[in-house]
Chain A
């Protein structure tokens, strides 16, 4: 979904930080993308390369840290692994599982010089 917009969102945060830090260029961008976020890492990498052209982050490497899905099952009163958003609990099959991890789409850090 909308990886191009997300790549633009990443670039905005990177450019803001690079400007504030007086960076001449950005060498690496580290993202955290949860497995429940419905973001495709390959598509995001592709879009990142496109949107960073002629920017301070041109040519920067993109590292995507994969965050596994987890949820709180009301029935089990426990944190359970989740393979998909709105999925069911792998232990009891209940649909009352609140996602607690794996929905993130964050810029963690960048390497600049």
Chain B
């Protein structure tokens, strides 16, 4: 029997695996119906926090549906994640995961595309652990051309 921490670790790793493999349907199954996904970063130029993406489930579904029609960076993205902390409060867990997003171009060259942390809120639903909130906190602010998929 896995501990809740092991299950949370596995859940977070699965979000990375599904995104890496562009299994977007399976990715979204790891979130609750009321999910919220945000990408945030701090601007030292403005001395302010910025929100670069703020989506609910329906917006995430539209985003994935329209992807094939967009001109995207060619090549592959790969996420290297390490869960640093998991804290339980009432019926929720909050976790902090450090990640690197690695981009491999069509010629096979890899480089770090982005660095940051996933701050997740996790709940149990029908004996399954699901992410109810993911805040991607980016350290990297120059995302090269830009990215069409969640980080």
Bound pair (A, B): no
Which residues on A are within 8 Å of B, measured CB to CB? none
